[in-house]
Amino acid sequence: MRTQVAIIGGGPSGLLLSQLLMKAGISTVVLERKSRDYVLSRIRAGVLEQGMADLLREAGVAERMEREGHVHDGTNLSTAHGMFRVNFKERVGKSVIVYGQTEVTQDLYEAQDALGATIVHEADNVALHDVTTDKPYVTYEKDGQTHRLDCDYIAGCDGFHGVSRPTIPAEKRQEFERVYPFGWLGILSRTKPAAEELIYANHPRGFALASMRSDTLSRYYVQVPLTDKVEQWSDQAFWDELRRRLPDEVSQTMETGPSIEKSIAPLRSFVNEPMQWGRLFLVGDAAHIVPPTGAKGLNLAASDVHYLLEALKAAILDKDAGALDQYGPRALTRIWAAMRFSWWMTTLMHRFPDQTDFDQKIQEAELHQLETMESAQITMARNYVGLPY
Ligand code: FAS
Ligand code: PHB
């Protein structure tokens, strides 16, 4: 089999890149390790930046998002002294869209099927070969057979645990990492969301987040120690802890109910440089991970897709191979800005095990500035709605 761009990974970044390349007349093949049902069973991001929404519109995949997505003009932050709102629309003239990653991925699969895309599910033992030559290829196993896919370029969209990043020799790449000493216990429930907009809570017992997927589907998180196991958290224990951490005016009226998904996600900041090696280009979680506090993970994958799409179109359609050299540097500038914001939001809103009284006072002073200073709110709003591509 042969294609122009082999895409490893059928998550949001792989599918969005495939959709946009195919619409530009460039052929792709997507190799996904898991079944489609498995990919669509994962509950992940919930907030889309304007840039990602625009890219979905460019890909012709935005119809359901426009219909079912919720536009949020601001977000709430809750502290020991009460709750305040940062109005994105007022501060920077932009909003975000609350629409789940699962829905985005579903919409992308449907659009790819409509274009007749080649997506190979349950592709095992994917391996990348000759990526530093002008004739790279990929091998994989499917139904007991070994297959070879010849291509011109490879996009590694296979997430943090994928095969693409390790294909770059360890001595040729640098990893930057911070692992946070806590995780997020997340719950999805068929309940009315606790509030119209998100609530990020800084509480002495730990961070909490009240989010949603629709008017009848709520998504909540509480910070938990890394040693916690999801089995030790009953639904009731979760609701009790969430209520302790949210403002009284919210927790006293919120609807609770059985969880339909419950999991603990670790938090880390991670960047791999470079993002390209020969004709292999890393995209999304394959190259970087952010703590979800700033709602940047999925959105960074989208800006990577935008930069790589432009570079591949220039190289393939305009015969400008030099454009590909700019992919990594361009993507990394925006990635590091989002890394900083996600680190800042995480450090501001969580309780660290070794936190001193001084650290606590600094958090409170930072939150007070965010509550009372227009310039602080403009900076936060600019980062949260998404910096320009
Ligand atoms: P993905 O990991 O989504 O997709 C990679 C795909 O590659 C997967 O389908 C995988 O099966 C496949 N794959 C892996 N190895 C392969 C191989 N060897 N061969 C073939 N295929 C292979 N972001 C937010 O903004 N907000 C959140 O609340 C949030 N919550 C998260 C919770 C969890 C538990 C996790 C893990 C991430 C969360 N994220 C969140 C980040 C997440 O949304 C990612 O940023 C987003 O999925 C990135 O998309 P991809 O780069 O496509 O990677
Ligand atoms: C979510 O709805 O899952 C969500 C929203 C905002 C975040 C993280 C997660 O910062």
Host domain of residue 212: 180-267+353-385
Other Cβ atoms within 10 Å of 370 Cβ, number: 17
d(CA 10, CA 195): 33
98 Cα nearest atom in ligand 2: 2
Q: Which listed ligand is nearest to 105 at the C-alpha?
A: 1
d(CA 47, CA 97): 6
User: Are residues 146 and 256 both part of a single domain?
Assistant: no
User: Are residues 127 and 261 both part of a single domain?
Assistant: no
pLDDT of residue 321: 82
The β-bridge partners of 223 are 184
**Residue 254, in any domain of the structure:** yes
Residue 122: what are its φ and ψ, rounded to 5°? Answer: 55, 40
pLDDT tens figures, 218-245: 999 999 999 999 999 999 999 999 999 9
Q: Whose C-alpha lies nearest to ligand 2, atom 6?
A: 295
Other Cβ atoms within 10 Å of 251 Cβ, number: 19
Ligand 2 centroid, distance to 213 Cα (angstroms) = 10
To test ligand 2's pocket by mutation, which of 88, 211, 346, 385 has the most ligand atoms within 8 angstroms of CB? 211
User: Are residues 56 and 204 both part of a single domain?
Assistant: no
CB 73 within 8 A of CB 129: no
**Residue 88, in any domain of the structure:** no
Q: Whose C-alpha lies nearest to ligand 1, atom 47?
A: 298
User: Are residues 252 and 290 both part of a single domain?
Assistant: no
User: Are residues 103 and 154 both part of a single domain?
Assistant: yes
d(CA 49, CA 98): 9
Structure tokens at 48: 């889309």
pLDDT of residue 81: 87
d(CA 355, CA 81): 19
Instruction: Note if 384 is an active site residue.
Output: yes
Instruction: Note if 136 is an active site residue.
Output: no
User: Are residues 195 and 138 both part of a single domain?
Assistant: no
Q: Whose C-alpha lies nearest to ligand 2, atom 5?
A: 46
How would you class 244 by CB atoms within 10 Å of its CB: exposed for 0-12, middle for 13-18, buried for 19 or more? middle
Structure tokens at 336: 């590091």
Comparing CA positions, the residue from 148, 31, 82, 99 lying closest to residue 371 is 82
**Distance in Å from the first CA to the final CA of the chain:** 34
Q: What is the pLDDT along the chain (389 residues), one digit of tens a residue?
A: 999 999 999 999 999 999 999 999 999 999 999 999 999 999 899 999 999 999 999 999 999 999 999 999 999 999 988 999 999 999 999 999 999 999 999 999 999 999 999 999 999 999 999 999 999 999 999 999 999 999 999 999 999 999 999 999 999 999 999 999 999 999 999 999 999 999 999 999 999 999 999 999 999 999 999 999 999 999 999 999 999 999 999 999 999 999 999 999 999 999 999 999 999 999 999 999 999 999 999 999 999 999 999 999 999 999 998 999 999 999 999 999 999 999 999 999 999 999 999 999 999 999 999 999 999 999 999 999 999 99
* pTM for the full predicted model: 0.96
Q: What is the DSSP letter of 2?
A: B
Structure tokens at 232: 């030790």
pLDDT tens figures, 326-360: 999 999 999 999 999 999 999 999 999 999 999 99
Structure tokens at 152: 């011109």
Structure tokens at 317: 């359609």
351 sits in the region (left: phi over 0; alpha: psi -120 to 50; else beta) called: beta
Please give the angle made by the CA atoms of 39, 44 and 50, to the nearest 5 degrees: 110
**Residue 152, in any domain of the structure:** yes
**Residue 172, in any domain of the structure:** yes
Question: Which residue in the list 262, 296, 306, 350 is annotated as catalytic?
Answer: 296
Instruction: Note if 296 is an active site residue.
Output: yes
Residue 154: what are its φ and ψ, rounded to 5°? Answer: -125, 130
Q: What is the DSSP letter of 157?
A: -
**Residue 87, in any domain of the structure:** no
Q: Which listed ligand is nearest to 212 at the C-alpha?
A: 2
Q: Whose C-alpha lies nearest to ligand 1, atom 30?
A: 44
**Residue 76, in any domain of the structure:** no
- Give the CATH number for residue 367: 3.30.9.10
295 Cα nearest atom in ligand 1: 25
Amino acid making up residue 254: M
Instruction: Note if 200 is an active site residue.
Output: yes
**Residue 79, in any domain of the structure:** no
d(CA 256, CA 193): 9
d(CA 95, CA 219): 20
pLDDT of residue 359: 92
Structure tokens at 230: 């999801």
Calculate Rg over the CA atoms of the chain. Answer: 21
CB 164 within 8 A of CB 18: no
Question: Which residue in the list 12, 70, 72, 136 is annotated as catalytic?
Answer: 72
Ligand 2 centroid, distance to 87 Cα (angstroms) = 17
186 Cα nearest atom in ligand 2: 3
**Residue 147, in any domain of the structure:** yes
In total, the chain counts a number of residues equal to: 389
Comparing CA positions, the residue from 12, 316, 267 lying closest to residue 134 is 316
The answer, yes or no, to whether any atom of ligand 2 lies below 6 A from the CB of 367, is no
d(CA 154, CA 133): 12
User: Are residues 160 and 235 both part of a single domain?
Assistant: no
User: Are residues 123 and 53 both part of a single domain?
Assistant: yes
Structure tokens at 51: 């840039």
Amino acid making up residue 188: L
Instruction: Note if 72 is an active site residue.
Output: yes
User: Are residues 190 and 163 both part of a single domain?
Assistant: no
- Give the CATH number for residue 147: 3.50.50.60
Ligand 1 centroid, distance to 83 Cα (angstroms) = 32
What is the number of structural domains in the chain? 2
Ligand 1 centroid, distance to 166 Cα (angstroms) = 16
Q: Which listed ligand is nearest to 218 at the C-alpha?
A: 2
User: Are residues 311 and 184 both part of a single domain?
Assistant: no
Comparing CA positions, the residue from 208, 229, 235 lying closest to residue 351 is 208
d(CA 60, CA 3): 22
Q: Whose C-alpha lies nearest to ligand 2, atom 4?
A: 46
Tokens 């570079």 correspond to what residue? 311
Question: Which residue in the list 153, 292, 306, 307 is annotated as catalytic?
Answer: 292
